[in-house]
């Protein structure tokens, strides 16, 4: 059965009032159920190599795992590439992008499934778009595994969008340093609810294993340098207004120490980002929560965070 047909059948089911977030990671699956009245259910399920389909099928056997689901893909299951936006009607862009990016991603045109979001518009420059591309061969088994009477698969999104949805919509640009357990750190710049810049940093996946002493032996300096490079690119190359705040969501034991040391290396206000009540202690499930929590509204950026420096 074609993937689009399967998805159409899923969308036709009666909607549950429970929201289910499923985040695929390199070593595990993160699960979050947000029912209306009973306590939230958070799980971390260890993942065997190439075992996503089998583990997703196991989820459907748990009666408490049900509802309107959003699936967050692991970073090895998609790619994001930036290209010039084709100067053609909007309804023709997706089909044109398949051939435009075919040499930039490891998926054949016949196997691609893609979408895109706009990049910042620069005066005098061509409009850029960010193309999110995955493989039907990867997605179809997962969609099939979640095609059950108790799970209604509503969305498939990426880790970047799951994290970005946590941020309040602000007129000022925010640089967000965020991470899932045992994954690489992501640096994003979000303004007015839109991702203007994103980078995935290599070499930080095991930062949770470091103590305060080892963090000061190069890790903090390397991360500070990447933050500085990102702000410089956003402000100088993209010619955007200066970033007003940096927010940190890195679920490790030494997170407060990491934030304090990073604050010492930057001239921008730096804050530890707090998840909304009552989920403050679920930092390792932040991306999973971001996939299913309501989108925040425009607020003062200091209202929901712990300020490290001014």
Q: To the nearest whole number, what is the mean pLDDT of the chain? A: 85
Domains of the chain, residue spans? 3-74+138-159, 79-132, 167-307
What are the tokens at 6?
């399967």
- The average pLDDT across 53-64 equals 78
pLDDT digits (tens, 9 = 90+) for 203-213: 999 999 999 99
| Fold: same for 79-132 and 167-307 | no
> CA angle 148-154-159, nearest 5°?
115
Q: Write down the H helix ranges in 238-283.
A: 255-264
Q: What architecture (CATH level 2) is domain 79-132?
A: 2-Layer Sandwich (3.30)
Per-residue model confidence (pLDDT) at position 124: 65
Q: Is 249 helix (H, G, I), strand (E, B) or coil?
A: strand
What are the tokens at 168?
């309040």
Torsions phi, psi for 37 (to 5 deg): -120, -40
Cα 307 from Cα 247, distance rounded (Å): 9
Question: Which position has the higher pLDDT, 53 or 163?
Answer: 163
Q: What is the pTM of this model?
A: 0.87
Question: Which position has the higher pLDDT, 228 or 27?
Answer: 228
Q: Kind and range of the H or E element at 84? A: strand 79-84
Cβ-contact 251, 283 below 8 angstroms: yes
Ranges 14-18, 64-68, 273-277, most confident:
273-277
Per-residue model confidence (pLDDT) at position 310: 34
Per-residue model confidence (pLDDT) at position 123: 66
Does the domain spanning 3-74+138-159 belong to CATH 3.30.420?
yes
The lowest-confidence range among 46-50, 212-216, 241-245 is: 46-50
Cα 74 from Cα 86, distance rounded (Å): 28
Cβ-contact 18, 7 below 8 angstroms: no
Cα 227 from Cα 246, distance rounded (Å): 9
Topology of the domain comprising 167-307: Nucleotidyltransferase; domain 5 (3.30.420)
């Amino acid at each position: 059965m074609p993937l689009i047909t399967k998805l159409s059948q899923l969308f036709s089911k009666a909607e549950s009032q429970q929201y289910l977030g499923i985040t695929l990671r390199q070593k595990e699956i993160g699960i979050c159920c947000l029912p209306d009245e009973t306590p939230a259910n958070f799980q971390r399920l260890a993942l065997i190599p190439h075992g996503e389909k089998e583990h997703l099928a196991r989820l459907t056997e748990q009666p408490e795992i049900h509802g309107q689901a959003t699936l967050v893909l692991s970073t090895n299951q998609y790619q994001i590439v930036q290209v010039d936006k084709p100067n053609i009607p909007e309804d023709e862009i997706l089909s044109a992008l398949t051939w435009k990016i075919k040499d930039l991603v490891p998926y054949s045109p016949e196997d691609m499934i893609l979408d895109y979001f706009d990049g910042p518009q620069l005066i005098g420059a061509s409009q850029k778009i960010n193309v999110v591309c995955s493989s039907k061969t990867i997605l179809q088994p997962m969609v099939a595994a979640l095609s059950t009477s108790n799970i209604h698969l509503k969305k498939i999104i990426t880790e970047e969008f799951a994290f970005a949805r946590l941020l309040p919509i602000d007129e000022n640009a925010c640089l967000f340093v965020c991470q899932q357990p045992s994954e690489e750190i992501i640096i994003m710049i979000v303004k007015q609810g839109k991702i203007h810049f994103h980078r995935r940093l290599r070499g930080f996946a095991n930062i949770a294993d470091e103590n305060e002493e080892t963090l000061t032996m190069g890790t903090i300096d390397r991360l500070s340098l990447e933050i500085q490079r990102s702000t410089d690119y956003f402000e100088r190359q993209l010619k955007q207004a200066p970033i007003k705040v940096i927010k940190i969501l890195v679920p490790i034991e030494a997170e407060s120490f990491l934030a304090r040391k990073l604050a010492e290396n930057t001239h921008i206000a730096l804050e530890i980002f707090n998840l909304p009540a009552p989920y403050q202690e679920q930092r390792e499930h932040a991306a999973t929560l971001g996939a299913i929590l309501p989108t925040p509204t425009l607020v003062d950026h200091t209202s929901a965070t712990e300020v490290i420096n001014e």
